[in-house]
Chain A
Amino acid sequence: MTATLDRPAPTHLSPRLTVSTAGRILRQLRHDHRTIAMLLVLPSLLLGLLYLLWKDLPTMPGQPSTFDRVGLTMLGIFPFVVMFLVTSIAMLRERTSGTLERLLTTPLARLDLLLGYGLAFGLAAALQAVVTVSVATTVYDLDVTGSVGLVVLIAVVDAVLGVALGLLASAFARSEFQAVQFMPVIVLPQFFLCGLLVPREQMAGWLQAISDVLPLTYAVEALQEVGSSTEATGTMWVDVGIVAGVALLALALAAATLRRRTS
């Protein structure tokens, strides 16, 4: 038995190092003004396009307008997609610049690094959600029956899910080209099957079964609950719990696939 073939050490979490890492990631973001502007403004602009698309179409009496239904759902999908992409590229940069290898020789635990990413981009997503929800409800007259605070909360949990899946996916990407293509692979099926394009109860049984195991489905259902009930419903909290649980699971898996020793 050789001592050099040791197993990865048990991860020692340190909230101080997690926060310090999140601070570093946010500082990197702060130097990149265009990215900040795009993060904050782009979802509102895209939502505006959807608003104009459906503005003059008639609405069935007694039904929510198409924009109210789709726009609300998009508030959860934007942060998920954007944070997935941003994180998988950021992690790939850590890998190619050698900073990841260096971090792995320091006392920073692997899960600290990944939680740092979750925290940093979760905060960025919160800011993004506040801007987008404010613009949607004031400029585009988006009607939300429930609390807009809950919409922001769900958007942030979705963003953290995007971060976690992005970190996990980047472990399997050897190049930027691969990393970018993980986006359609992981994001699009969830988007198609989440119940926005076709209501889930109208899907074929086996598609519904796939939809049942995709986390974005629960994020969309949570938003629909907020859209239709004045009070937070039990279903909504269960949905939020499922999305958060999957995000934590993905972060743990990403930490497990992050090898300290490489060939």
Chain B
Amino acid sequence: MDAVTVTDLVVDRGRRRVLPGLSFTVPAGQVTGLLGPSGSGKTTLMRALVGVQQVRSGRVTVLGRPAGSPDLRRRVGYVTQAPSVYADLTVRENARYFASLYGMGAREADAAIADVGLAGAAGQLVADLSGGQRGRASLACALVGSPEVLVLDEPTVGLDPVLRVELWERFHGLAAAGTTLIVSSHVMDEAGRCDRLLLLRDGELIADSTPAQLRADGHSEDLEEAFLTVVRAREEVAA
């Protein structure tokens, strides 16, 4: 069962064609990594998945409905790259507000804060938190709605390694419970933590694979190395 189906998606931003025609599917109940360098179109693609990106043509289907459909809004959670929470509210006030939008209460809000390891900072203003803590506060505000599909744009940037591991464990816990996660990253060492990989470069899908498959295709245990081999092989074919 696929949670997301993208067919011939074309997106222009200004005069630039950011996504020239993407097609792929994302299986439900897994962690799918969207990897690629900065500027490869990851954020644009994620915006299209949650229905806030103007698209030129193509079809994006999430949970069987066109992306951005009103009834998807309580089933899909989105965490932007820059933490999008209210800096002049406490972590708890932020979580409770977003909880209320999803029809949830204070209990769910407190649980989401605890899930991202911010229980000790719940009463603090977001403005007084570190960058990494803000990112986690932003994540809590998406977790609080218990979405079926969770779209996370670079959620682990700036986190210390221990927290990063904890978050990835949390992502896999959610996936085991049936949530579909789409997580973007520009660091290849996170690719190994994903169940599936979508490698994006200049808006094109370089690989739709798994970490094991990519290692085999690229003849290297190191995913970064394997990625480079695959990219070069592609360029040779193109030339």
Mark each residue of chain B from 45 to 89: 1 if its CB lies under 8 Å from any CB of chain A, else 0.
000101111110111110000111110011011101011111111
A9 contacts chain B at the CB level, 8 A cutoff: yes
Known: A20-B97, A28-B86. A105 touches B125 (CB 8 A): no
Asked if residues B66 and A4 are in contact (CB atoms below 8 Å), the reply is yes
B101 an interface residue at 8 Å Cβ cutoff? yes
- Do residues A106 and B97 form an inter-chain contact, with CB atoms below 8 A? no
Q: Enumerate chain A residues within 8 angstroms of B14, measured Cβ to Cβ.
A: 263
Once the chains are docked, how many angstroms separate the CA of A101 from the CA of B88? 18
Is the CB of B219 closer than 8 A to any CB of chain A? no
Q: Is A183 an interface residue (CB 8 A)?
A: no
Closest-CB distance, A184 to chain B (whole angstroms) = 27
Min CB distance B60 to A, Å, is 5
Contact with A261, one of B52, B57, B58, B100 (Cβ below 8 angstroms):
B52
Place the interface of chain A in its size category: 20 to 34
Q: Which of B59, B70, B78 contacts A102 (CB 8 A)?
A: B78
Residues of A within 8 A of B17 (CB): none
Residue numbers in B under 8 Å from A4 (CB-CB): 9, 48, 55, 58-60, 66-68
Is B68 in contact with A261, judged by CB distance below 8 angstroms?
Answer: yes
Contact B78 A3 (CB under 8 A): no
Q: Are A2 and B57 in contact (CB under 8 A)?
A: yes
User: Is residue B168 within 8 Å, beta carbon to beta carbon, of the partner chain?
Assistant: no
User: Which residues of A are at the interface with B, using a C-beta cutoff of 8 A?
Assistant: 2-6, 9, 12, 16-17, 20-21, 23-24, 27-28, 31-32, 97-99, 101-108, 260-263
B→A interface (CB under 8 Å):
9, 12-14, 48, 50-55, 57-61, 66-70, 73-74, 76-78, 80, 82-89, 93, 97-98, 100-103, 125, 141, 145
Known: A24-B93, A106-B102. 5 other contacts (CB 8 A): A102-B84, A105-B76, A106-B73, A106-B101, A261-B51
What are the nearest 3 A-B pairs in CB distance? A98-B84, A3-B66, A9-B70
